[in-house]
């Protein structure tokens, strides 16, 4: 199952993420693909806001992982851009089964086949006219249900973030 949005403004991308945050229940894995400057961290900032995180979310490019406590759920934000062989030691897979957390990974390509099969995958691309194409692919039935809820949340047009 797949869906594509186009956004012109930073806030539009964040509003999509805020709506997603409203339908997360914990234990979800979200991967964010796209070039530098595509909007992966921007999306994560919206997600954080939607989860009730007030602390500023910065790209964890050098730290690889940052953790933030939200109202009900924790956000694990990973950026694997600069990861080389040390990610084995980071024990990233431990984060995937935390039922009270949502895990977001920028540059999931760096983990290759070690990314769990079931997840919500987003690819963000800059279009020739400077907009963003945001393609979401739901991998697995749980994530198909999540995408359906996300679309429903956006239709309702209510962002509690």
Residues that bind Mg ion in the complex, under the rule CB under 5 A: 40-41, 59, 106
Distance between CA atoms of residues 77 and 48, nearest Å = 10
Does 8 bind ligand ADP (CB under 6 A)? Our answer is yes
- Quick one: 7 or 153, whose CB is closer to Mg ion? 7
Enumerate residues 6+ apart whose C-beta is below 8 A from 4: 133, 134, 135, 136
Nearest residue (beta carbon) to Mg ion: 41
Q: Shortest approach of ligand ADP to residue 126 CB, angstroms? A: 8
CB 161 within 8 A of CB 21: yes
Using CB under 6 A as the criterion, what x/- string covers residues 54-83 for binding ligand ADP? Answer: -----x------------------------
Nearest residue (beta carbon) to ligand ADP: 39
Does 9 bind ligand ADP (CB under 6 A)? Our answer is yes
Quickly list H helices, the chain: 10-23, 40-50, 87-90, 93-96, 141-156
Distance between CA atoms of residues 38 and 124, nearest Å = 6
Q: What is the dihedral of CA 29, 104, 54, 22, to 10 degrees?
A: -40
- Quick one: 73 or 105, whose CB is closer to Mg ion? 105
- Quick one: 15 or 44, whose CB is closer to Mg ion? 44
Q: Shortest approach of ligand ADP to residue 124 CB, angstroms? A: 6
Q: Which two tokens mark 114?
A: 């070690």
Interface with ligand ADP by CB under 6 A: which residues? Answer: 7-10, 12-13, 34, 36-42, 59, 106, 132
């Amino acid at each position: 199952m797949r869906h594509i949005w186009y956004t012109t403004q930073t806030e539009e991308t964040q509003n999509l993420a805020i709506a997603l945050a409203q339908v997360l229940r914990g234990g979800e894995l979200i991967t964010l693909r796209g070039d530098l400057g595509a909007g992966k961290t921007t999306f994560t900032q919206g997600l954080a806001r939607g989860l009730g995180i007030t602390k500023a979310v910065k790209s964890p490019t050098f730290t690889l992982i940052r953790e933030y406590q939200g109202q009900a759920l924790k956000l694990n934000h990973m950026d694997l851009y600069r990861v080389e062989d040390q990610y084995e030691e980071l024990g990233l897979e431990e984060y995937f089964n935390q039922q009270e957390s949502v895990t977001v990974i920028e540059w999931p390509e760096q983990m290759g086949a070690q990314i769990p099969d079931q997840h919500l995958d987003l690819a963000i691309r800059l279009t020739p006219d400077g907009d963003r194409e945001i393609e979401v692919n739901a991998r697995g039935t749980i994530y198909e249900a999540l995408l359906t809820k996300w679309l429903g949340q956006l239709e309702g047009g209510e962002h509690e973030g």
